[in-house]
Structure 1
């Protein structure tokens, strides 16, 4: 999901002390150890890995601590109080990296945030010990896998050979990275699709392909005329439909699209300094769950997208948000008739979404025009629907379920109370939302989301912010999704791909390859955060280093029909694999190791094409959401990179054994293994780095 003002999801529970106005050096102390360098120019940058830390400040040898514990939102400057008893601040870091601790000029406030890179910085990956391939023929043992006389094909180069004496000799293609992908020439008939073999192409609709420029500025949304960090860029369903053959050619069997429902109409301030307008282009700031955001298209273009995807054997996963709604913006107050919540409107343009900062204001300045103390906030979502820091509303808590992510209104999904429609939806002329007698908040959310399944044949959900809701709510969503998809398939027998039930994969932040209670509450799979940080780079450097991971994943996932994960190397929240090193050769090698993983995989748009980072405006995850680099794919090294990913992806698609079969190492030199499932059998040989 997008985490807005807290992209790292870390909590710093402190009330920060004043260290006085003395000019003495100040030092950051982490877990009782002072950092060598003092605060330089009011700030210090220090690397932190994932974990929890005890943070203190040293002033003239005195350790200062908070008077009372209190949360510190990301990037917010809190006042410093007098030094009291030496208590440590509790800092929880979810994403490794450099963190910046900074004071203002008068040393009256302190802020903590993730340090951002200035410009594009490329690095050289650490060298990993690996066998070397001289570019010549490679002899691989396939004894016990296929009998002598079996004719095999290298799926990468198209070469064929016959097994003799339990061995096969072929020369890997120079562009393969020393790889042979061996399959029988007379292969067994491909098994029917199963979600255990999911190869999912994940894209941000707005940043992928613009098929209809006429819908680029719905609700009067504006460009900023500068870096366009978080404005709408124009990608839509029509543009995605135009690229379905491209996705199919990558060997993908499903696409995951970001939430498509109507987003907040306006913007908030982006970044610590409010340096850019921030719209809900990503889809995670919903306004009306029953309408498609017109920037993405309309119902006809959605139906065309799903139907055309199904014709190509591509399932459609819709990203859904059950935890929160979007912020209130100036445009929403005007468009929804909530003008009584605005103030100083004489200083606003005719169309409030056209406001731009001036007179020393930044983009956060839009807040001066909203009256957050008005009792008329009952006309918005209302106290029975969300927690929010507004008059009459329940206040957010401090745990995962009752807390508010980045200050967004948090749905009361735990409540069993029957609720009416929110006041603004009652007045919204184009909504499909209607009262549901006796329904709770979670009942409405389940009904709204599964209505898309029932009407359009959506095959499954990618569930956002899973741990922030009660497990029973997810189980309810899964049951309703099953019923809705069954209805659609019954009504559309000529369009359905199969009779598989509804599928759900969840984002439980920082979850790895472990089976827990979420699998008993609606989820078929969970996103695997471990692989990107623990295996991807090393395995790309040398594929044979992946053997322990391959063996472990196959044994844990493929011996349990009710357990799977979806691994990735890049995402919209964490990092781009290509972003760190800008190395096309490395990006080719990571395809070899990553696409051979047992279990499900998620390819993030541009993994296959070397899509680079965008300007981030000081909000690091915005760099991960650049426009798809279509213009680079016609020729040159990026075109070769794409062809490589296509070949590896098609091999994975042709052989269910790769994702869901047994794994057995055959040899260390050259490194090789066999995967096998229900008559499908392949051998992968890695000759070494060339």
Structure 2
């Protein structure tokens, strides 16, 4: 997650205690490859944290005491390390790997594949001259079968293992070939899912009356980090639009209650940053008033289910939101430094910095050492480094217990029972109830899965997965499965009753490979490799994606239940349209590259309409969250682009073979590939 606005370095002393460094020697870990000792050159990351990189061929990488029994090690997995440890890793994909080792009392190691630019020669893209295309289909379809191009609607009959079709003029030489009389619906497979990610506040405003909930105000400037008005009713009003894109799952930003006030945005504190994105939770049991009412949520889910669309909540188990002036004043926690009250207006949240200050400067008014901070989350709930709260280590030193962007870090690993945070016990309205014997993660799991139990939420997109211990995710999944069964039993007439829960995780930088995260509750992980390695080149022509398509399909076939979700744009990285200067032909090509990729895929809102980058201030990611460009949809060139996405998206939705099938190249010129999943068969052609 990069939806976090880090505080400036000058504020660190106010927010966190300083830990005295304990200098550790370089790690003394035996490292062998195929029996040969390696002598790494260690890079010092911190006093007790080190890294080394290796170029590894196929074979066995052995870490630790060769006299001990080896334990299997998988990429991205954090393993405890002691003098008697030994881990064995089967290198099946030669390449560069990075080993992270922490020494000291909490010694551990982690092995990470290093993604590199492909050095293969790019396949040339050829212009299509508009002529008919001869397509070899003998290995897939029989002579006499009538086939249809789903893009143009034209049909042809197989003769001597060939068909001839002319691609539609606006298709850029694309043919989407299916059996003409095939069933309109095949059994659904999550590996063929098309997930639409809508940042709710920036998507569609269905109820302007809730735009300024909790006293939130526009800033009158560029509105970089303010709430823009999008809500649950707005999402509901666009369900038919999503259905026409072939979408079968809608991922929405967390709609539960967020911090009411703002923090300074960006490194320079140059804009007011509210929690419009859903990553600064205040109360997990209530809907945020800016998002709408519980009736609005029920209407959204019912409407989505009626159209075959599942609804996924973005969830955060790693951290709640920052403290803000508004929440301090209204919820009664924390206090100001002596004499600072005179510098604040009656409503603290309307404070403005002096000309020589920026918006981070409000921290100078606050006494972070005062015992009244016990009335906030409390030291048993979070690491925050204020008052008597424990100070989190650097996230580089400990990814699980460290703090992301100086946010308070939930103590999800703690086995100690806790009561409700004091502010929640006094807050109204809330559904948070104190439970005997509950640990921090027990409360969070109950609060999050109640949305499944009560409203029929179909799945979670889990944020910052690598920064929470796997056992907590496994427990969340268990509780979500139980809640899903309870909801299905109570709502037997809902079209989605009986469908299993689905959970996809964000492990920043993870690719399409398997890992232990998928043994701890996750059905899929986000595939960051697609944006970096495939999207750009394959938007020129599909033949440039062929190697990746083949690798993806093999991974899915080799491991039952394995899945990943590829994307080309996101709120945490970049917009494809901005990367390519709003080039509509590139955006046109992206539809083919993404929607014809194996595995689940994610459309970021506006990918289909070339939504432009927005104002961003000193935080480069804010511009990826611009308002959905609905007004542009009336432009002929954008309308044509959307129709292109719709045709490919509907083809994908009809055919589980696209995402879940085997992949086989049939011809180079024109470029032709086939996919098959059970009885479902398709052929894709691009005459380029």
TM-score range, shorter chain: 0.7 to 0.9
Conserved 8 A contact 2:3-2:277 = no
Conserved 8 A contact 2:2-2:573 = no
Residues 76-116 of structure 1: CA distance to partner in whole angstroms, max 9, x if unpaired?
xxxxxxxxxxxxxxxxxxxxxxxxxxxxxxxxxxxxxxxxx
Residues 92-145 of structure 1: CA distance to partner in whole angstroms, max 9, x if unpaired?
xxxxxxxxxxxxxxxxxxxxxxxxxxxxxxxxxx99622332111111011121
Q: Could you tell me how far apart the structure 2 residues matched to 1:2 and 1:445 are?
A: 22
Structure 1 residue runs of 5 or longer lacking an equivalent are 8-51, 56-65, 72-125
Q: Could you tell me how far apart the structure 2 residues matched to 1:558 and 1:266 are?
A: 48
Q: How does 1:559-578 map to 2 (within 5 A)?
A: 559-578=558-577
Of 322, 334, 337, 2:332 maps to 337
Q: Secondary structure at the match of 1:481?
A: helix
Q: How does 1:110-125 map to 2 (within 5 A)?
A: none
Q: CA deviation at 1:361?
A: 2.3
Conserved 8 A contact 2:312-2:459 = yes
Of 233, 238, 242, 1:247 maps to 242
Q: Higher mean Cα deviation, 356-365 or 228-237?
A: 356-365
Q: Could you tell me how far apart the structure 1 residues matched to 2:424 and 2:437 are?
A: 17
Q: Are positions 1:325 and 2:320 aligned together? A: yes
Question: 2:393: which partner in 1?
Answer: 397
Q: Could you tell me how far apart the structure 2 residues matched to 1:165 and 1:623 are?
A: 54
Question: 2:374: which partner in 1?
Answer: 378
Q: Secondary structure at the match of 2:634?
A: coil
Q: How has the CA–CA distance of structure 1 residues 498 and 526 changed in structure 2, closer, same or farther, with 3 Å as cutoff?
A: same
Question: 1:412: which partner in 2?
Answer: 411
Q: How does 1:224-623 map to 2 (within 5 A)?
A: 224-338=219-333, 340-341=335-336, 344-398=340-394, 399-581=398-580, 582-623=582-623
Q: CA deviation at 1:638?
A: 1.1
Q: CA deviation at 1:4?
A: 2.4
Q: Higher mean Cα deviation, 559-568 or 223-232?
A: 559-568
Q: CA deviation at 1:54?
A: 7.7
Residues 488-532 of structure 1: CA distance to partner in whole angstroms, max 9, x if unpaired?
010001114252221110001110111111111000000001110
Conserved 8 A contact 2:175-2:686 = yes
Conserved 8 A contact 1:251-1:646 = yes
Conserved 8 A contact 1:266-1:353 = yes
Q: Could you tell me how far apart the structure 2 residues matched to 1:216 and 1:584 are?
A: 33
Q: Which TM-score applies when normalising by structure 1?
A: 0.82
Q: CA deviation at 1:348?
A: 1.8
Question: 2:641: which partner in 1?
Answer: 641
Conserved 8 A contact 2:569-2:604 = yes
Of 133, 141, 165, 1:138 maps to 133
Report the aligned-residue RMSD: 2.0
Question: 1:218: which partner in 2?
Answer: 213
Q: Could you tell me how far apart the structure 1 residues matched to 2:351 and 2:382 are?
A: 28
Structure 2 residue runs of 5 or longer lacking an equivalent are 8-40, 50-120
Q: How has the CA–CA distance of structure 1 residues 247 and 583 changed in structure 2, closer, same or farther, with 3 Å as cutoff?
A: same
Q: Could you tell me how far apart the structure 1 residues matched to 2:2 and 2:443 are?
A: 23
Q: CA deviation at 1:341?
A: 4.8
Conserved 8 A contact 1:128-1:541 = no
Question: 2:687: which partner in 1?
Answer: 687
Q: Which TM-score applies when normalising by structure 2?
A: 0.82
Residues 463-488 of structure 1: CA distance to partner in whole angstroms, max 9, x if unpaired?
00001011011000001000001100
Q: How has the CA–CA distance of structure 1 residues 604 and 441 changed in structure 2, closer, same or farther, with 3 Å as cutoff?
A: same
Q: Could you tell me how far apart the structure 1 residues matched to 2:489 and 2:305 are?
A: 16
Conserved 8 A contact 2:178-2:681 = yes
Conserved 8 A contact 1:333-1:342 = no
Q: CA deviation at 1:615?
A: 1.1
Residues 166-216 of structure 1: CA distance to partner in whole angstroms, max 9, x if unpaired?
111111111111111111111145223232221100011000001111111
Conserved 8 A contact 2:335-2:373 = no
Q: CA deviation at 1:359?
A: 4.2
Q: Secondary structure at the match of 1:505?
A: strand
Q: How has the CA–CA distance of structure 1 residues 209 and 70 changed in structure 2, closer, same or farther, with 3 Å as cutoff?
A: farther
Residues 307-351 of structure 1: CA distance to partner in whole angstroms, max 9, x if unpaired?
111011000010100000100000001110236456622322222
Give the number of aligned pairs: 579
Conserved 8 A contact 1:2-1:284 = no
Q: Secondary structure at the match of 2:609?
A: coil
Question: 2:100: which partner in 1?
Answer: none
Q: Could you tell me how far apart the structure 1 residues matched to 2:391 and 2:531 are?
A: 36
Q: How has the CA–CA distance of structure 1 residues 281 and 632 changed in structure 2, closer, same or farther, with 3 Å as cutoff?
A: same
Conserved 8 A contact 1:504-1:522 = yes
Q: CA deviation at 1:356?
A: 2.1
Question: 1:154: which partner in 2?
Answer: 149
Q: CA deviation at 1:3?
A: 4.2
Q: Are positions 1:206 and 2:205 aligned together? A: no
Question: 1:178: which partner in 2?
Answer: 173
Q: How has the CA–CA distance of structure 1 residues 128 and 531 changed in structure 2, closer, same or farther, with 3 Å as cutoff?
A: same
